[in-house]
Chain A
């Protein structure tokens, strides 16, 4: 009795451990998971770039007032410009930078150790708009009339270009993920078909003994799920160092870290939570693709039997 159960292959009536075996399927699925992780990292990177660019520059104006302390109609030039901006429609906030703030901005270019700057500087006013679709042209003309020599910089066009770029990067990432998934489906379908061919006789025997389609498809699906999951796990683990290096490189641009990541630990710390979630979902996604593809392939094949 013990002997009979000792050599048991319960749950593997079709010998799928051998028919659907080897490293080929997991290796291919692993490569797909690797590529998908890179694409997802591209998606996360470009979306956080887009976010920080928008947050930083959208709906913002910078106004420079040369010779701020000279008189103009109704006060000194700076005050005139500030009060004009404060009441202009579409303006959310007006913040004249202090001399110290301006000096700090310029320090990389004019040096100094924080002491007073000796060359004459313009005043700089940071303006936030209520939205990013405000037409700033009338305001520019009004300012130029009241305070000649004033310069107004609108970041809108840059932001639009950058965010177009970010969106197209994201679209490419999605496309790549979709493509990689399609290839994974094809790879699993081909492997499943090979398994069907190798076990054709056994399947027909089992079918003749009264096994349902669900039973037979379930045996294949279970095997394909295990192999795809293994591949997904391996691919995800292997891609981790690459993704963390990329995240470390992109972090200074997105404001998630101000210094460059120098160790693996600090690089891992720059991987955003959403990318961790994506990568955790990869093996599960691979397993799901394995399960569904095998189910579909086997059930369609079984329809040829009465």
Chain B
């Protein structure tokens, strides 16, 4: 499902004497299908960077990364969009499209995948009800609270039933009850076969939902199950 083999990542110049520093160094681990992992580590350790590699926003500058059976280094660029559609992401900063309503933001992955409009309507409406946004279907992100925006972002990440679900600090703007509701959703998706990786600083959440951990420190993997 996910396999890192001596993966390194630099932002900016990748070679020469003034090459940018490696923010990830010699990362190796493998996740089986259906795994659930916490991604932990102090601020600046490289959690977001590791997730960026997994949602194909960055490509490894060294080593080999295999995602959903595809060796990314050997996959042509034009084949990456299809792969991205099988990966759901909840961003630290939501990344909602500001001029689209909650409904349309959540509908995007389905529409990009070319699903029939009737199915889009039914699925999106149902999921937005489920995350408690039944009355906000046609509200723009600017008119939603931080927590509501985050729930839209979560709904968008899971609507297309991704094989791999990545979340970066997903509970940052949620109260404890909402965070529990999110964890129920993530566990439910995981039970149905989705591989889930959640980066967080929220120790109490980790304590309440014990799972295997990937722990990063200064760009190195210091603990893997």
Report the Cα distance A4→B57, complex, angstroms: 31
A208 is contacted by which of B55, B103, B111, B137 (Cβ under 8 Å)? B55
Inter-chain contacts of B99 with A (CB < 8 A): 9, 12, 15, 18, 202
Flag if B112 contacts A210 (CB, 8 Å).
yes
Report the Cα distance A208→B54, complex, angstroms: 11
Give the distance to chain B from A224, nearest Cβ to Cβ, in Å: 18
Give the distance to chain A from B54, nearest Cβ to Cβ, in Å: 12
With both beta carbons as reference points, the residue of chain A lying nearest to B103 in the complex is identified as A4
- 8 A Cβ contacts from B134-157 to A: 137-138, 156
Report the Cα distance A5→B121, complex, angstroms: 9
Give the distance to chain A from B152, nearest Cβ to Cβ, in Å: 13
Flag if A210 contacts B95 (CB, 8 Å).
no
Quick check: is A161 within 8 A (CB to CB) of the other chain?
no
How many A-B pairs have beta carbons closer than 8 Å: the answer is 77
* Segment at the interface with A among B31-39, B80-88, B212-220: B80-88
With both beta carbons as reference points, the residue of chain B lying nearest to A302 in the complex is identified as B77
A215 is contacted by which of B97, B98, B104, B112 (Cβ under 8 Å)? B112
Quick check: is A8 within 8 A (CB to CB) of the other chain?
yes
Report the Cα distance A215→B113, complex, angstroms: 12
Flag if A206 contacts B97 (CB, 8 Å).
yes
Flag if B125 contacts A211 (CB, 8 Å).
no
Inter-chain contacts of A213 with B (CB < 8 A): 78
Inter-chain contacts of A212 with B (CB < 8 A): 78, 81
Mask, B44-67, CB within 8 Å of A = 1, is 000000000001111100000000
Report the Cα distance A18→B99, complex, angstroms: 10
Quick check: is B101 within 8 A (CB to CB) of the other chain?
yes
Q: Which of A3, A6, A210 has the most CB of B within 10 A?
A: A210
Quick check: is B206 within 8 A (CB to CB) of the other chain?
no
B109 is contacted by which of A7, A12, A202, A209 (Cβ under 8 Å)? A209
For chain A, give the interface size range: 20 to 34
A4 is contacted by which of B58, B84, B125 (Cβ under 8 Å)? B125
Flag if A3 contacts B100 (CB, 8 Å).
no
Report the Cα distance A212→B125, complex, angstroms: 26
Flag if B81 contacts A210 (CB, 8 Å).
yes
Give the distance to chain B from A8, nearest Cβ to Cβ, in Å: 7
Mask, B118-132, CB within 8 Å of A = 1, is 000100110000000
Report the Cα distance A127→B156, complex, angstroms: 86
Quick check: is A1 within 8 A (CB to CB) of the other chain?
yes
Quick check: is B89 within 8 A (CB to CB) of the other chain?
yes
With both beta carbons as reference points, the residue of chain B lying nearest to A18 in the complex is identified as B99
Quick check: is B108 within 8 A (CB to CB) of the other chain?
yes
B85 is contacted by which of A9, A18, A209 (Cβ under 8 Å)? A209
Flag if A15 contacts B98 (CB, 8 Å).
yes
Report the Cα distance A212→B81, complex, angstroms: 6
With contacts A8-B104, A18-B99, A306-B56 taken as known, whether A1 is within 8 angstroms of B77 at the C-beta atoms is no
Report the Cα distance A9→B89, complex, angstroms: 23
Report the Cα distance A280→B11, complex, angstroms: 52
Mask, B68-97, CB within 8 Å of A = 1, is 000000000110111111000100000111
Inter-chain contacts of B56 with A (CB < 8 A): 208, 306
Report the Cα distance A12→B104, complex, angstroms: 11
Inter-chain contacts of A5 with B (CB < 8 A): 103, 121
Inter-chain contacts of A6 with B (CB < 8 A): 138
Measured CB to CB, the residues of B under 8 A from A are 55-59, 77-78, 80-85, 89, 95-101, 103-104, 108-109, 111-113, 121, 124-125, 137-138, 156
Measured CB to CB, the residues of A under 8 A from B are 1, 3-10, 12-15, 18, 201-202, 205-213, 215, 306
A/B interface sample: 27 pairs, CB < 8 A:
A1-B121, A4-B103, A4-B125, A5-B103, A6-B138, A7-B101, A7-B138, A8-B101, A12-B99, A13-B100, A15-B99, A18-B99, A206-B112, A208-B55, A208-B56, A208-B57, A208-B84, A208-B89, A209-B108, A209-B156, A210-B109, A210-B112, A210-B113, A211-B112, A212-B81, A213-B78, A306-B80
Q: Would you list the 5 A-B pairs with minimal beta carbon distance, nearest first?
A: A210-B85, A210-B84, A15-B99, A4-B137, A4-B103
Further pairs besides A1-B121, A205-B95: 18, Cβ < 8 Å? A3-B137, A4-B101, A4-B124, A4-B138, A7-B138, A12-B99, A15-B99, A18-B99, A202-B99, A206-B97, A208-B57, A208-B95, A209-B108, A209-B112, A210-B81, A210-B83, A210-B113, A306-B56
